[in-house]
Amino acid sequence: MNFQDLDFKSDRAALVRHQQVYPSSSGLRMKFLIKLLLVATAIILLGFSASSWQPAAKGADSTRKSSRLHYSLELPELIDSILDDSEAAQALSAADDNAWEIVTIKSGDTLASIFSSAGIPAATTHQIAGLNEHTKSLRYIKPGQKIHLLLDDQNRLRQMKYVPDITKTLSVRRNEDQSFSSQILNYQLDAFPVFREGVIETSLFEAAAEGNISETIVMELANIFGWDIDFSLDIRRGDRFGVVYNELYKDGVKIRDGRILAAEFVNNGRLYKAVYYTDPKGDGDYFDEFGKSMRKAFLRSPVKFARVSSRFSNKRWHPVLSKWRSHKGVDYAAARGTPVRASGDGKITFVGTKGGYGRAIFIQHGGRYTTVYGHLNGYARGVVRGKRVKQGQIIGYVGSSGLASGPHLHYEFRVNGVHRNPLTVSLPEAKPVHPSYQEHFKRNTRAYLSMLELMDTTLAENTS
């Protein structure tokens, strides 16, 4: 797996598979590490982060709260083409830009209807649609996308371009023998690592917004640390976080955020760190600085960002039954319909209505653990008895079925059949970095971890 692949989610799989023109991944990675270290050194020399990492002063210039270190990774442009680079360049710049007709695809449009409107004969449409694998994508054009057409003076199609997404252009042109040839130009997005931080005054989302951090990154941050920190319950005023992630650009325009490369979270005075690591087999995940997995076998909470409305206790006043009863689980108040996730990999042992639980799901995890989800509004599709579920998979939706005064999830965690407090039970952990990869892990995560350390140091200096 190449370093730059990190920023492409699964929908980019097709793109990153074409890698004929890439330099070796180790060379690229080394280059990147050296740059990171240079950048880190630069920060120290310039005292750059001294202002950037100070806890956000209210009303201060918001740009001071995040430092942006832009440098190009100098990624090669990906060319997957039947033509060579120079021909490709010619193909796209062959004609005067003004001569191009640009059609924005509307709902209901097909290649045939667009060509027909442009006066291009149906025979040409067939010729192009059936040309090869590349032009198959023209069957799936979507409203809002653009098709560029270049016609000659006899209204014959000389060349066309279709831009299915920002990272790709399909180009088709007429050859001298009147046949057509196609090429796909793949554009690699430029990745610029950014350092951002937030100090929580009211909520994680607000702190992130203040620090100019997108919701996507916040959700990812919550996913990474969600094993150790219950974001519904544990967040305190004064908690802070730092995050290093890539922003992805094309031609100087930001397209989206990339993956989090490293992050830390100080919760209630306790520091948690995570770094992304891809092992030599290409498997990537988040680990702490010692190579311990950030994942546990269980999520601490099956509902994201919900409020704990009732805790585990041996005795409590039951609002519906109007009598004292023990509460063998935790209640998470959330809007009706909020997704409920399986807290760990396991097998569904019960789906249905069960007394006071109302609509409930029971999941068996390995031999020892059972989790229970009650008062559901409904079940997710495919959730049936005997079915295996993955951790984090949506299994149902918050409701108020059974004995419930309002919409909430009743969640139980049982170990060997004994009810345990889901908020405090010690959770079994996922596998660490394999011992034979320890050296590789250290080499490949050092730069990111140094960045986090740098943040810590500057923060300590600024607050002492």
> Residue 166 in 3-state DSSP?
coil
- Closest distance between Zn ion and the C-beta of residue 355, in Å? 13
Q: Token pair of 276, please?
A: 């992304």
Is 359 among the residues that bind Zn ion (CB under 5 A)? no
- Angle made by CA atoms 17, 8, 305, in degrees to the nearest 5: 150
Q: Kindly tell me which of 294 and 423 has the beta carbon lying closer to Zn ion.
A: 423
Q: Kindly tell me which of 16 and 330 has the beta carbon lying closer to Zn ion.
A: 330
Strands 394-398 and 339-341: antiparallel
| Residue, CB closest to Zn ion | 410
Q: Kindly tell me which of 230 and 289 has the beta carbon lying closer to Zn ion.
A: 230
Q: Kindly tell me which of 35 and 354 has the beta carbon lying closer to Zn ion.
A: 354
Q: Kindly tell me which of 356 and 378 has the beta carbon lying closer to Zn ion.
A: 356
- Closest distance between Zn ion and the C-beta of residue 324, in Å? 14
Write the DSSP assignment of 205-253 as a string of letters: HHHHHHTT--HHHHHHHHHHHTTT--TTTT--TT-EEEEEEEEEEETTE
Q: Kindly tell me which of 134 and 410 has the beta carbon lying closer to Zn ion.
A: 410
Span from 26-34, 291-299, 402-410, 424-432 in contact with Zn ion (CB under 5 A): 402-410
Span from 3-11, 211-219, 313-321, 408-416 in contact with Zn ion (CB under 5 A): 408-416
For the chain, give me the number of helices (H) and strands (E)?
9, 24
Is 410 among the residues that bind Zn ion (CB under 5 A)? yes
- Closest distance between Zn ion and the C-beta of residue 410, in Å? 3
Q: Token pair of 34, please?
A: 């050296």
Q: Kindly tell me which of 18 and 325 has the beta carbon lying closer to Zn ion.
A: 325
CA 94 – CA 161 distance, rounded (Å) = 12
- Closest distance between Zn ion and the C-beta of residue 203, in Å? 25
- Closest distance between Zn ion and the C-beta of residue 401, in Å? 12
- Closest distance between Zn ion and the C-beta of residue 297, in Å? 23
> Residue 301 in 3-state DSSP?
coil
Binding mask 298-337 for Zn ion (x = CB under 5 A): -------------------------------x-x------
Q: 254, 247 in Cβ contact below 8 A?
A: yes
Q: Token pair of 340, please?
A: 């409920």
Span from 188-196, 289-297, 364-372, 406-414 in contact with Zn ion (CB under 5 A): 406-414
Q: Is 371 exposed, middle or buried (0-12, 13-18, 19+ CB in 10 A)?
A: buried
Residues recorded for the chain: 464
Helices 438-463 and 25-46 pack at an angle, to 10 degrees, of 10
CA 250 – CA 191 distance, rounded (Å) = 9
- Closest distance between Zn ion and the C-beta of residue 299, in Å? 18
**Residues in binding contact with Zn ion, number by CB under 5 A:** 3
CA 425 – CA 94 distance, rounded (Å) = 67
Is 412 among the residues that bind Zn ion (CB under 5 A)? no
- Closest distance between Zn ion and the C-beta of residue 55, in Å? 38
Q: Kindly tell me which of 257 and 331 has the beta carbon lying closer to Zn ion.
A: 331
Strands (E), 118-239: 146-151, 157-165, 168-174, 180-186, 190-199
Q: Return residues touching Zn ion (CB under 5 A).
A: 329, 331, 410
